[in-house]
Structures are given as C-alpha cells and as structure tokens.
Structure 1
Amino acid sequence: MTSLRLLAPLALLTAGLSFVPVPPPAAAQPPTFAAFADDYYAALFAWDPNQATYAGVHDFDTKLADFSADNIAHRVDTLKRLQARLDTLRGGKLTAADSIDADALDHAVRAELLDTEVIGEWKRNPVPYLGKPAEGIDLLMKRSFAPPADRLRAVIGRLKATPPLLAAMKANVQNPPKEFADLGLIVAKGSVGFFRTDLPTWAKTAAGNDKQLLAEFEAANRPVADGFDAAAKWIETDLLPRAKGNYAIGADAFMKKLAYEEMLDIPLDRLLAIGEANLKKDQEAFAATAKLIDPKKTPQEVLASLTEDHPKPEDLVAATRGTIERTRKFLLDKGIVTVPSEVRPTIAETPAFMRTGGFASMDTPGAFETKATEAFYYVTPPEVEWDVKRKVEHMRQFNKTSLDIITIHEAYPGHYLQFLFARQYPTKVRKLYTCGTNVEGWAHYAEQMCVEEGYGAGDPKVRLAMLHEALWRDCRYVTGIKLHTAGWTVEQGKQFFMTEGYVEGEGAFQEARRGTYNPTYLYYTLGKLQIYKLREDYQKAKGVAFTLRAFHDEFVRQGGLPIKLIRRIMLPGDTGPTL
C-alpha cells in the first residue's frame, strides 16, 4: 500500500536575513504497474482477509470477509475502478514482465465480475459464507507465524466477525440449487464440531495461564458454535425445502469463465470434441493395460481386483505417509525436476468442515509466509455415519497402487513441489496468482509423466492406476460441459462417471455433484494437454539442448499463470495455439 510522506513545515525567516527560495515541487511520477499491483492486492486482501492470511500477509488476521449486499456492491465498484486504471496502464508502455502480469490481473478482474454480476454466486451458494469462518481460523491455528496467544487474539477477532457473515447468508441466499444447499448442510454440521470441540481444545493450550484471554475466547466462540448449529437447522428446515435453483450457468457464462480464468479461446464444440477424444484414447489404453494384467477379465474386473487392496480408514494417514519417500526418491534418482527443500509435508485427515466431496488435497502456505512454512497433505476418511458399502467404496479410491499416484499429484512432483518453488516466482503477481489449467494441469501431467519416465518400473498395475485417475479427469471434462451447457442432471453425470470412467457409485456421485459448483473442472485434463503441447514445442525450440529437468524447472518457477502466458515466457515470440 502506498504511504504518504508528510513534509516538515517551513518557518518564515526573521527580517534582515536573506530569503531562501523554496524549490518547486518534483513532477508527479507517472503511475506504475507495480503500484497498481500493490493496490489490487491490498483491495483483495481487505475484501477477503482469509486470502491475506493464506498468502502470508498478516495485516488482516482479525477480520473476515463482509459478504453483505452493500459490501458486495462496493467490491464491484472497486473492481471497475481497478479495471479502468489497468486499461490505462495497458494502453501505455509496459515491460515484458509487467505486460504478462497485467494480462493476468485483467483476466482476474473480469473473472470476479463475471462471478459476482452475471453468475451471482453470492446469491445462490451458502458454502462460501459457511466455510470462511472455520477456514480463516484454521489458518491461524495450524501455522505458527506468531506466538499462540497472539494467534488466539486474532481468532477472537474472526469469531466476532462470524455472526454477520451467517446473517448475510440468510439475507442473500434465497433460491439455491438443491446440490448447493446439501453441501451447505455438510459444511455447517462439520463446522459445529470444529467450533465446539477442535477450536476450544486448541484455545486452551494457546491461552496458557491467561485466564482472561481464555474467557474472552469462550465468550466469542459460544455464539458462533450456536450460530452454526442454528445455520444447519435453517438450511435443513427452511433453505432446502425451497432450494429449486438451477446450477447450470449456461454456455455463454461457461465459455467466458474459461476465457477469463484460463485464457482459453477454443469454441465450445471443439472443446468438447477434444475432451471426448482424450477420454476414448485413455479408455483404449486402459483396456490394453488391463489385458496385460489379466487377459481373462474385463477392464472393470481387473480394476476391481486392484482396488480391493486398500487400508482401513484408521490406517489411511499412515498408509499415505509411506508414499512420500518413494515418490520423492524417484524424482531425485531420475533427475526429473529440482527438489529445492528437504522438508516434507505433514499428512493428516481432512478437517471436517473441508469435506465437500474431495478425497485428497494439499494445503500449503503462501509465498509471502516467512515463518509458518508448514504444509498439510490431507486425505479424507469416510464419515462415521455412512453405511458399510459406502465406506468401502470410498476407501477403494485409496488402494495401494493408486495411493502412489495420488501422492505424485498432491506432493511430489505435484502441488507440494509447486509450493517449494513459490519463493522463486519472479514477481508479486506470480507469487499470488493461480489458475486451474496450470496448477491442477501440472499435478495431473505429473501423474502421467512420472509413469512414462519409469515410476513403478513398468508394472502395468501402476500404469492402470494412473490411467484410472486420467479417466476420472476426462469424465470431469465432459461432465462439466454437459452439466452447464447441455442440461445434464447430477444423476446423468454420475452414470457417466460410472460407465465411462469406471468410478464406483459413491465416488461417481461426489464427482458429478462437484461439477455443479465447479463448472470448469475440466482444467485438469485441459491443462495436462496444454503442458504436453508446450513441452513438445519447447523441445523443438531447444533442440539438442533440451532436458526434461530444465523444462520442468523453468515451468514450475514461473508460478500459476495461464498456459498461454507461460508460453510467452518460455517461448519468446511464439504465437502458436496452446492446444
């Protein structure tokens, strides 16, 4: 943020002394892109303090987002003013690096305005309102960037900001899709447990002998726990019965979302054709690989025999921990990419309030965090209230062979490695900006690339596990398009995952439902294909000087920019398509 410097007042000289002329003021400096980037992120962090905490900027740790209708209108006004400033800057002379970053922020502003003004997520989805409090407080609890008592004081601030957020949800969310209300109920119930049990346990330790601080916490926490309990009942008895909204955003908004978030300019029909063709290619490879394992069984039967070997729910964390050293050692032995740290991620169960359908995730600190560098690799066990069949279906996804592929995606050389490179990102924008085709595309690319480079020593079971993960992503690609542009129901999406991706019922349902609130989750496959195309073009440009390690290092150290911009950096002067 820009600071004003105050000039010391000039005293009048006494009579008889020579007059000393005051020099004219310096000419005003023209606005710079660096100043704009500072202002953009200052406004973003004030709007959503959780993002500041995550990034490692701790100026907003006592605050939560204000999602009242008035403040949302204010945010829209702010974005439009920023857009006007950025248009002026982009119309002038920018350095090559600033031009790339300016393009990224231009698209970020347009994407947020689309979500707010056109799609209207704030009027149809209770989950952001319900998730922000526990998410923001969890960030303060688990990362030791300050003494525990200081972090507890920040927690108290966020607790006090929670009731207005829940009130804004009730005022703003009127007719959500049923799927969004269902997810809201899950998050609300998970949050009750967090505020009644997990948070108070931590707070007692954090407060130490400071009884007054603990009492202040308890006074602030009690109404929040009660508020989430009331929110869950409100969703169940009031919101769900009237949740008749349509989750589909329509073809126009769908394509604009891809254009703004991923810088994609492929027509919808060609986009769908690319996904369907890749699904067919992966199905054929899956069938051929299954035949190598057991030619007497169907591909689905071979897969079923593979998924039977899975850990018990209580052993999931320990089983996942065992995959870390194998995958990391492979990268080092093969020289596939630089691993710039000896520090490993912490493996833990996904917190209850974060369980909205995913199986595994990586939670890493932002690039500006200098003290709290803990990273968490989360795996999600089945819920205790599920029936036996549903629990077994869930745990099959964590079968012994697939766990290694999941760790390649989440940790080495996937998301955790991206985090390890974050401090090397060359600009503020690239340290803070991410898009799906880069971040998730890279992690998905890593799965296939590692197997191609010899992970599993040619074992067809490992290749089959990798291909099954690819089929999941291919089905996301097609299902997302169909849910939002072709009138598909969640049940149709579920059946597609089951028949085309060989995903069992529970996983298929979770994946199809995810597509309702994550329309463009095709970015896994789309990003992977774009990275392979970039690698091919980069290899042609480098010729005999090409090495896989150099390509990977150069790609990862640029940050999470859209692939179109990464191409401009890695292939100067190139104007070729991303696919």
Structure 2
Amino acid sequence: MKKAALTLAIALSLTGLTACQTQTSIEQSTIEMTDQNLAFQQFSQSFIDDLWLESPTWALYSGFHQYDGVLKVPNEQARQASLDFVSKQSALLTHFDKDSLTPGLLTDYRLIENLIGQMRWDIETFKSWQWDPTNYNVSGGFAQIINENFAPLDQRLASVLSRMENVPAYYAAARENISHPTLEHTQLAIMQNEGAFSVFNNDLLDQVIASELTNEQKVLFVTRFNKATIAINEHIDWLKALEAKLDKEGARSFRIGETLYEQKFTYDIQAGMSGKALYEKAIEDKNRVQAEMTKITEKLWPTNFDTPMPKDNKVAIKQLIDKLSVKHVKRDDFVDEVRAQIPELIAFVNEKDLVTLDPNKPLIVRETPAYMRGYAGASISAPGPYEKSGNTYYNVTPLDGMNDESAESYLREYNHWILQVLNIHEAIPGHYTQLVYSNESPSLIKSLFGNGAMVEGWAVYTERMMLEEGYGNFEPEMWLMYYKWNLRVICNTILDYGIQVKGMTEAEALDLMINEAFQQQAEAQGKWRRATLSQVQLTSYYSGYREIYDFREEYKALKGEDFDLKAFHEEFLSYGSAPVKYIRELMLHK
C-alpha cells in the first residue's frame, strides 16, 4: 500500500497542470468517500434507534432500557408498522455507494441489509406468526426486568407495572393470529407459558409490597398482575383446547420444505453456500470423522475388552463408547459439577495464553428458568452491549423431571469427557468468551445483530482448539468422545436438512443419531424434538465451525512463522458477531 501511494505521488509530480487537476479530483473523491462513511455511521445509529422503537423487547434483551415499559401487541397494525420500518430503512440504504464504504462499514451495511430483508420475509413469506404459537410468551421480557439488577428495583418494578397493561391484549392478538399451527409448536407453547408463573408469582408481589412505589402504584400493580395471570391462564386453556383439536383433526406439518428452507438458510446462516451444499459437505465429514474414531477404537479395544473387535467398525465404536460412558457424574450433582469445572477451564486458557479473559465479567451457572425449559439442556444468556458489566448466565437444566432410565441415558450422553466439551462450548472459551468480546466491538451493528453461525461456530471451534492445545492431556478417550460430540454437530446438519427438506422420518432420524453418531436414546429423542421445533438453526454449528477452522488454517499458512494463535483469536473476536465470511475479508484485506 505504501509503495503504491509513493508511485502515485511521483507520477503526479511529473505531469504538470494535468496532474494538479487529477490530484484535485482525487482529493474530491476522498472527501466524498469520507462523507459517505460518516453519513453511513450516522445512519447506522439512527437505524438502531428506530429499531428499538419498533422492537422494544429486542431492545430490552440487548440492554437498552428506554422502552422497558412497552409491550407491543402483536396485531396486524404492529406487523404493518414493521413493514413500514423495513421499507423506510431499505430506501435509506439505497442512498449509499457501497464501493465508497470502508470494509468494516461495508460489513455493517450488509448486516443491516440482511436484517431488514429477513424481517420482511418473515412477515410476508415465512409467516411463523401464524403457525408457531411459541412466538407468543411474555415471560422472558418480564423476567429480564425483574431479575437483572441494571437499575434500582423501584424503577424496574415501575417498568413491569407499565408493561403488564398490554398482557391481556397481547394474548388476545396471539389467538387472533394463530391459524393452522403445528401440533409440536402448540405443545411447546403450552409448556413454556405454564412456566410464566415462575415469573408472575407471590415473590413478585412481595417485592412490590416492600418497595417504595406509591400506594396508588401498588394497587394498580396488583390489579394488572391479576389481569395478566388470568390472561396467561386463559391462553393456556385455549392452547390446550387447540392441541386436542389438532391431535384429533390433524395439524400443519412442521416441515417447511426446500424453498422456504433455502430462503431461511440464506438469511440465518449467511455462509456463501446453499443449505443443500452444506448438507452434502456434512455427509463427507461424517465419513471422515467415523474413520478417525475407528483408529482410536482399534487402539483402545485391547485395554477395554477381552473379546475380538467386531468387524463392523460402527458396532465396535458404539460398544466402546457405551462402556466408557458409564463414567459420569451423579444425577443430583449434575449442575454442581458444571459449576465446578468453570475455574478449571479458565486456568487452562490462561496457562496456555489462548485468549485474554476478563475476570471482571461474571459468569453465573444457574438452573435453567422454568419458562426457558423444553428446548435445550444447556444455554447461555448474555447481556447486550449496552450493559457490558451485566451477568452472563450459563443455564443448566437439572434432571429432576426425568425418570431414572432417562436420567441415566442423559448422563451417559454427557459423560465424564463430553461434559467437559460441553462446558468448553457453552462457557470457556466458547459462547461466554465470544459474547464478552462481541460486546466490546467498536461496531454496535456487529455486536447487536450477530450471526448465529459465527456464534455457534466459534463455540464448536474452541472444542477442537482446546484439545489441540493439550486440554485432556491428549487422552485417546477424550479425543474419541470429542469426535462423538463433533459427529453430533455434523449430523445436526444432516438431520435438519433431512427432516425439513427430504422428509426424514423419526425412525430414520433416530437411526442416524444412535447408530451413525453414537448418541444415547434420550439425547436422540430430544434432538428429534428440537429438529421438529426449529429450522436451519441446527446447521449453524457445523457451518460456522467449518468456516472458522478452515480460515484459521488458511491464515496460519499465510502468516507462516509469524502466526500467533492468541493474536488470531483476539482479532477474529474483535469484529463482533459478524458472519465468518465477512470477518475473513476484514482480516485478509486490512
């Protein structure tokens, strides 16, 4: 770059008046480019401001609390307001010359463009607001206000008071919207709305009574609280009646088909390839990983069995995994064991100097709140970039609701080795670490509108990276279980595309997960359930992982002896949660 600039300067100095005119033209162009970048930065902030007004609950989850007291009623008027927002922002985007934007701002442009396109598509084409009753649940927003200490309690209770006003209208609109839903989403909506009473309970009323709210506010609070709980119960009863009707008369299929799947894949994953292409890539990787597992099984077989190894490699792998999986934590100690492993992971990352961890950003392991259960056994709830110092919660679902057989199957799935891999993925240096860095990105756009494939891909990438750096002391059992876990990531893609597009049956799905990915029965059944309730999201793990790992190897070859793993990680993470393909562009062309 410096050499090119110097050559241009010499050329201009030798061309007299014409050079001066050219130089003036170049300076004018530079001014125009600067103006474009400044204008786009101003637009980006205006876009965020308008979006929070349009989506106040999203703002709340992101840590922007100006509209905490607003609960939008999801009716036709609200959908039209969303479409008006999309049209306005689309028109404003056309004013910018993409070629004049810096690479970082061009990435922000693409993220905004994708987001508003996705919003329109969801309302007009996908229409999940009609067939997915899980879209309607007020619990999360209220829980966020009540449980997070971002402001004095009285101030937060005042927001709850204001927000409760629209709860009855909210559920009335939900019932007006729901048309020919799937049975599976209806059943989940019942369970999750029943979990609302872990938020709307006597503890909340006790807090109100003890607060500094005025007597008038307290009376109004109790009135609205009662109306809200009645509305939730009415909605649950309505959903149960709907469930019975759907069960008897038939329901919409949860399968969305190829056209909608590819459209959703484009918006959600932003991977630069089709869903079908990723599916085919996953099948190839499945075969490769199974071959690696065969090698380890051949090595470990003589020390674990007195009988000859079966000729069918998959049978042998499954038998070895089944034997090793009896080593697991006790049922009642599951959440406590997760909590105990976090300091060990922190110590390893610091010792190996893999990435800088901020000790001032708390990570709290907790039991998954009731209103969040029924979807995943472990998850991260992270603060948004507006409240970077807020708590990050590692939600772990206890096994209380399982019978003994299911609990044992679950514990074998999350055995001694895989539980460690899970904690790497969810916590250190996976989701928790990435989301802390994302909040520090100078681009609010990249932090707020994160790409799921990058977020999940990073967590999956760290699993292998940690083992490569010596976590687990290169124990073959750890690598075998890692490959089993990684095979699950790969098969998530095969499963998701197979179910949603190719019509894979439950029997075929269970066979894939149990006999090809060596999962326990309980885990396989849980994944089938999840695959019927979501679309595309299950592909994000594999898609992002392959992109990140392949890019790291490309970058390592490019840098040669100058490659530094920690520096790579920290620069990669500095770009927020942008799609991997855009981070690659930024790191290669900076």
TM-score tier after normalising by the smaller chain length: 0.7 to 0.9
Amino acid at match of 1:338: T
User: Which of 456, 476, 479 matches 1:440?
Assistant: 456
Alignment partner for residue 102 of structure 1, among 102, 109, 120? 109
Check if 1:554 corresponds to 2:571: yes
Structure 2 CA distance for aligned equivalents of residues 46 and 498 of structure 1 = 47
Cα contact 1:50–1:135 (8 A) shared by 2: no
Moved more, 450-459 or 69-78: 69-78
CA 558–92 in structure 1, closer or farther in 2 if over 3 Å, else same: closer
Please show how residues 478-557 of structure 1 align to structure 2 within 5 Å: 478-520=494-536, 521-557=538-574
RMSD: 2.3
The residue aligned with 2:9 is none
Question: 2:293 & 2:532 partners in 1: Cα distance?
Answer: 27
Which residue of 1 is the match for residue 434 of structure 2? 418
Which residue number corresponds to residue 305 of structure 1?
323
Cα–Cα, structure 1 residues 346 and 215, in superposed 2: closer, same or farther, change >3 Å?
A: farther
Alpha-carbon spacing, 1:219–1:551, altered in 2? closer, same or farther (3 Å): same
Alpha carbons 1:441, 1:527 under 8 Å: kept? yes
Please name the residue that 2:22 is paired with: none
Query: Could you list the per-position Cα deviations for residues 266-289 of structure 1 after superposition, in whole angstroms to 9, with x for gaps in the alignment?
Result: 245432210111122222223333
Counterpart for residue 387 of structure 1? 403
Note closer, same or farther for the CA distance 1:308–1:545 as it changes in structure 2 (3 Å cut): same
Bigger helix fraction: 2
Q: How does 1:83-122 map to 2 (within 5 A)?
A: 83-90=90-97, 93-122=100-129
Match of 1:78 in 2: 85
Cα-to-partner distance string for 1:526-552 (whole Å, 9 max, x where unaligned): 111100111122112222211111111
- Structure 2: how far apart are the matches of 1:252 and 1:171? 27
Q: Which moved more, 1:481-490 or 1:167-176?
A: 481-490
Work out the CA distance in 1 between the residues paired with 2:330 and 2:230. Answer: 34
More moved, 557-566 vs 498-507: 498-507
Give 1:51 deviation, angstroms. 1.7
> 2:17: which partner in 1?
none
Answer yes or no: is 1:315 the counterpart of 2:333: yes
Instruction: Name the SS of the counterpart of 1:348 in structure 2.
Output: strand
> Is 1:375 equivalent to 2:392 in the alignment?
yes
User: Which amino acid counterpart does residue 357 of structure 1 have in structure 2?
Assistant: Y
Q: 2: CA distance between counterparts of 1:166 and 1:42? A: 27
Match of 1:450 among 466, 486, 490: 466
Question: For each residue in 1:276-332, what CA deviation from the matched residue of structure 2 results, as whole angstroms up to 9, or x when unmatched?
Answer: 111222222233334444443732233233333333444222111111011111111
Structure 1 counterpart SS, 2:589: coil
CA distance in 1, matches of 2:123, 2:172: 19
How many pairs does the alignment contain? 540
The answer to whether the 8 Å contact 2:54/2:85 transfers is: no
Of stretches 300-309 and 520-529 in structure 1, the one that deviates more from structure 2 is 300-309
How high is the TM-score relative to the length of structure 2?
A: 0.86
The question of whether the paired residues in 1 share the 8 Å contact of 2:413 and 2:520 is answered with no
**What letter matches 2:386 in structure 1?**
F
What does residue 135 of structure 2 align with?
128
The residue identity in structure 1 corresponding to 2:87 is K
Residue 5 (structure 1) aligns with = none
Q: Residue 346 of structure 1: CA displacement?
A: 0.7
For residues 336 and 566 of structure 1, do their structure 2 counterparts lie closer, same or farther at Cα, with a shift above 3 Å needed? Answer: same
TM-superposed deviation, 1:375: 1.2
- 2:222 maps to a residue whose letter is E
Q: Is the 8 A contact 1:48 1:64 kept in 2?
A: no
Alignment partner for residue 66 of structure 2, among 40, 47, 59?
59
Aligned CA distance change for structure 1 residues 175 and 92 (closer, same or farther; 3 Å): same
* Structure 2 residues without counterparts, runs of 5 or longer: 1-34, 310-315
SS of equivalent residue, structure 1 residue 195: coil
Aligned twin of 2:3: none
Q: Tell me the CA shift for residue 491 of structure 1.
A: 4.6
Q: What CA distance in whole angstroms lies between the structure 1 residues aligned with 2:511 and 2:169?
A: 40
Single out whichever of 305-314 and 82-91 deviates more from structure 2. Answer: 305-314
- Partner AA of 2:192 in structure 1: V
Identical columns (%): 25
**Structure 1 residues 399-414: aligned runs within 5 Å:** 399-414=415-430
Using the alignment, how far apart are the partners of 2:364 and 2:260 within structure 1?
38
Deviation string, structure 1 residues 321-356 (Cα, Å, up to 9, x no partner): 111011111111111112133444111000011013
Q: Is the 8 A contact 2:361 2:390 kept in 1?
A: no
Q: 1:225 aligns with which of 218, 229, 232?
A: 229
Partner of 1:376, secondary structure, is strand
Distance of 2:360 and 2:413 partners within structure 1: 29
List aligned pairs for 1:156-305, cutoff 5 A.
156-196=161-201, 199-200=204-205, 203=208, 207=211, 213-242=217-246, 244-295=251-302, 296=305, 298-305=316-323
**Pair 426,150 (structure 1): closer, same or farther in 2 beyond 3 Å:** same
Report deviation, 1:392: 2.7
Q: Distance in 2 between matches of 1:395 and 1:209?
A: 47
Distance 2:283 2:377 in 1: 25
- Residues 139/293 of structure 1: CA separation in 2 closer, same or farther (3 Å cut): farther
Work out the CA distance in 1 between the residues paired with 2:50 and 2:322.
50
Contact 1:90 1:99 in 2 (8 A): no
Q: Which amino acid aligns with 1:558?
A: Y
Report the CA distance shift for 1:413/1:198 in structure 2 as closer, same or farther (over 3 A). farther
Deviation at 1:210, TM superposition (A): 6.4
Q: Distance in 1 between matches of 2:72 and 2:328?
A: 41
Q: How big is each residue's C-alpha offset from its partner over 1:476-513, in whole Å with a ceiling of 9 and x where there is no partner?
A: 11111112211224453333222222222222122122
2:329 equivalent to 1:324: no
Amino acid at match of 2:252: G
- Give the distance between the partners of 2:508 and 2:238, measured in 1 at CA: 29
SS of the equivalent of 2:253 reads coil
